[in-house]
Amino acid sequence: MVNANVSNGKNIWIAASDGDMERVKELIEVHGMSPNVEDENTYTPMHAAASYAHLDLLEYLISKGGDINHPDSDGETPLFTVESVEVAKWMIERGAKIDVKNHEGETAAETLFEDNPEVAMYIQSLVQQTTTSSSTTVPAITGGDASNPTTTTNPSAYQTEALTSSMTDDLISRTGEIMRDAEARGYNPDERLREVVSQALMDGWRRNREEAGLEGGVGVPPLQDGDVQQQGEEEQDSKRSRME
């Protein structure tokens, strides 16, 4: 078995997460490591590079046999780790499958919706295009804490319940429009997508609070600024510690 920590340098997963092309090339070309080698958590260099948006490194790994659809022990491919529409689009154009489900029965779109809703809606818009052409029903994205990458709202149930199938269809339609406009005009769509999804979630939350007040016969306190709290930065540290 090849030692992943050859020459006492970075292991291949840390090197991939850092975008350290020189070290990754050394480990693959000199020491014979595979771009699909798994760490103790079954994470591959492909997962690491995708998570940290190192597209040049992903291109290299693929050229050396990297499997863009390699699942980890949870059944999650590198697409499940992406945090920007740009990376998701790049991967899908190179063969990343959008309909793969993890061992909990969730697709990448459903898994990403909690922390990266704009990415989730982009992937779901492609799912809808595919399933519409096949005359099948597209399930709404549900479950999880429907928060955006920079804020979270409480209670989360209001957000998840707010995304009815009709709202999801509307979001998917708007996502498609933004993506087409971004491609035509050459800009990064992430910020616009984030704003659209965040606004839809907040609108749905307010609507559910109002409806709850009417059904219960009691007033529901209005949304306060304090209800929107900044998320911590623990996720990046957690991802990196997974590979150390």
Residue 74: give its domain's CATH number: 1.25.40.20
> 215 and 125 in one domain?
yes
Give a yes or no: residue 196 inside a domain: yes
Q: Are residues 64 and 161 in the same domain?
A: no
Do 47 and 140 lie in a common domain? no
Q: What is the pLDDT of residue 131?
A: 61
Domain housing 206: 113-219
The series of mean pLDDT values per 10 residues for the chain, 244 residues long, is 63 98 97 97 97 98 98 98 94 96 94 88 80 47 40 36 53 81 87 79 65 52 42 52 60
Residue 123 within a domain: yes
CB 141 within 8 A of CB 114: no
Give me the pLDDT at residue 8, please: 67
In a domain, residue 88? The reply is: no
pLDDT for position 6:
60
Q: Is residue 44 part of a domain?
A: yes
Position 5 in a domain: no
Q: How much is the pLDDT for 66? A: 98
With respect to residue 159, please indicate whether it lies within any of the assigned structural domains: yes
Same domain, 135 and 197: yes
Q: Within 13 Å, how many C-alpha atoms sit on residue 124's CB side?
A: 31
The predicted pLDDT at position 39 comes to 97
The interaxial angle of helices 190-216 and 85-93, nearest 10 deg, is 110
**133 and 185 belong to one structural domain:** yes
0.85 surpassed by pTM: no
Residue 169 lies in a domain: yes
- Tell me which of 82, 105, 122 is where a domain ends: 82
Residues 125 and 211 in one domain: yes
Judge if 142 and 76 occupy the same domain: no
* Cα-based torsion angle of the residue sequence 203, 235, 243, 69 in order, rounded to the nearest 10 degrees: 10
Note the pLDDT of residue 205. Answer: 60
pLDDT of residue 200: 72
Residue written as tokens 């910020």?
191
- Domain-embedded: residue 234: no
> Same structural domain for residues 123 and 184?
yes
- Give me the number of domains the chain comprises: 2
